[in-house]
Structure 1
């Protein structure tokens, strides 16, 4: 059996799970109430930190799932995202609208990456 490793775990969830060379990050959110751009940047900064913790980086991202509280914020989120994604390393990506955990959250990003 391949080992499953969990980091930053509590009763409900783990921030990072690794298994068989794949890294799964929990959904990342930014500072509640901040602008869409700031919340997006917060998410991306957290993703950078978590991936580095397990020896990976944004060039190894396989898939990103982005939830927006309102699709009207798509362009603002993409303005930050497009500046962050490493050229030539864009992951498979989906973006949709969803009611997030708190009304003050506007962006949540979920990442799957290679180790």
Structure 2
């Protein structure tokens, strides 16, 4: 059975199937922040969504990271990521430069995780 949460007419922000959780791309809700601030907001929002789905950052399988200007922002993003990511259970990760849907979005992340507990 597929479970969908935070659904609107365009997408589901959280989808679960067979204990695997797929999060839609997450961008900061404060676009005035620099890369570090936007990264911190995205990671905090990810933790909230993972918790809603019955998981946490220790159960992330994969992170797909899109940075608007990788030459400018890669080091700053990694500083925030390295402080946040599980050292014991780090996910597979890709980080690429990409155009964004809005000019002031600096980072977007897509996560895939598993449930931390079977209900």
In which range does the TM-score fall when normalised by the shorter chain? over 0.9
What corresponds to 2:67 in structure 1? Answer: 68
Aligned residues: 113
Which stretches of structure 1, 4 residues or more, deviate above 4 A after TM superposition? none
What SS is found at the alignment partner of 2:39?
Answer: helix
Q: Are positions 1:90 and 2:82 aligned together?
A: no
TM-score scaled by length of structure 2: 0.93
Structure 1: unaligned runs, 5 residues or longer: none
Write out aligned runs for 1:30-109 (5 A): 30=28, 31-72=30-71, 73-109=73-109
Structure 2: unaligned runs, 5 residues or longer: none
- Select 2:6's aligned residue among 5, 8, 12: 8
TM-score scaled by length of structure 1: 0.96
